[in-house]
Amino acid sequence: MEPVYFNNAATSWPKAPQVGETVAACINGLPHHAGRAGFSGPDVPGKCRSLLADLLQVKFSERIVFCPNATHALNIALQGFGWRKGGAIVTSVAEHNSVLRPLYYLAKTRRLSVYKVPVDKEGRIIPAEWQAAIGKYKPQLAVFTHASNVTGAINDAALLAGMAKAAGAATLLDASQTLGLVPVLPEHWGIDLLAFTGHKYLLGPTGTGGLYIAPGTELNPVWVGGTGIQSDLDEMPALLPVRFEAGTPNDAAFAGLAAALAWSGENPLDNVDGMQGKIDRLAAGLTALGADIIDVRSPRTPVISCTLKHWTVEDAGEALHKSFGIICRAGLHCAPQIHSFLGMAPRGTIRFSLSRFTTDTEVDYCLEAIGMMLHEPF
């Protein structure tokens, strides 16, 4: 059979229909960018920003800053934040290295204090521990992931943000694993900064992502340079989004993201009866076969992490790929600190992550392959 792709938490495949054609058409068309060309053309960034604003249900699309990925967005938020001397940050052990490493850098170079809240056995931030840390350390900023990329457990963003805001902290949400799957509503939840990527569950191309900056939230630019407007200024313009978008943009990739957003808007995700059912089917099948899975209650993303008896996670991932054509992910998944709380340290897990395009046949084939690995000489 064709390769079976179960690594959508890393990057989605296949992409939404028309994404490739849209990117190619933009690349092959006459170059145009508002403010940098002497002729008019399609407003690719404006269309994409408008579709994202609709999805996020935010009023001002210009407050969505385009970035090459969520890592850049998180760095803009963290490096550009107005830190006080000796400021504190509260985050969690569930975070991806795109949060953990910038925070380590800030602690090292700016003498900030970083406090990490534990998670439960499903990978969710424990609300009581979060509340206690917020109250004890009085952070300037609270940073947390909307969903674990290791277990798929979705955190209650409104609850955690509300606790932080009540204590006077600003909030930064990493929605890399959720935008495109479940509602992500920064204005309703009290989120000041929201980072996202376009190439996962939004089904767009790599090289796309963004940062939503809520009204009243101020950041300093991290990258400075050409903007195509107000070129007489010595500093970056105050106008959003160009204040944070120095340099020539990747219009072709964002045209592809706009195509993906438009397609998804016309084809809403049936999360309960479609993808969720397949995740439940895979989890039940793995458990029946004797795999040690991290059992996660709803709400969750279509991610399952497990280990297999007598197999290292690296060897299991390689066998699935080379012998069965199943593409998944093995290891720490760039989120190293959560595994101690899950009982999966130091090697990590085998991670299967589905998409709206995953079929029942692919799920059954994966279970057949795992059954062979566990119960037959291999």
Mean pLDDT of the region 148-162: 98
Runs of H (alpha helix) within the chain: 19-28, 44-56, 70-80, 97-110, 127-137, 157-166, 186-189, 251-266, 276-289, 313-324, 339-342, 360-375
Q: Is the pLDDT of residue 35 over 90?
A: no
φ, ψ for residue 218, nearest 5 deg: -115, 135
pLDDT given for residue 126 in this prediction = 98
User: With contact defined as beta carbons under 8 Å apart, do 89 and 79 qualify?
Assistant: no
pLDDT tier for residue 275 given thresholds of 50, 70 and 90: confident
User: What are 64's strand-pairing partners?
Assistant: 212
pLDDT given for residue 378 in this prediction = 57
Q: Is 51 exposed, middle or buried (0-12, 13-18, 19+ CB in 10 A)?
A: buried
Place of tokens 């045209």: 255
Instruction: Give the SS3 label for residue 119.
Output: strand
pLDDT given for residue 36 in this prediction = 57
pLDDT tier for residue 32 given thresholds of 50, 70 and 90: confident
Q: What is the pLDDT of residues 4-14, one digit of tens each?
A: 999 999 999 99
Domains annotated for the chain, with CATH where assigned, are 4-14+269-375 (3.90.1150.10), 19-266 (3.40.640.10)
pLDDT tier for residue 376 given thresholds of 50, 70 and 90: confident
Structure tokens at 316: 């299991």
Mean pLDDT of the region 152-175: 98
Average pLDDT, the chain: 95
Structure tokens at 145: 């992931």
Radius of gyration over alpha carbons of the chain, in Å?
Answer: 21
Q: Is 360 exposed, middle or buried (0-12, 13-18, 19+ CB in 10 A)?
A: exposed
Q: Is the pLDDT of residue 377 over 60?
A: no
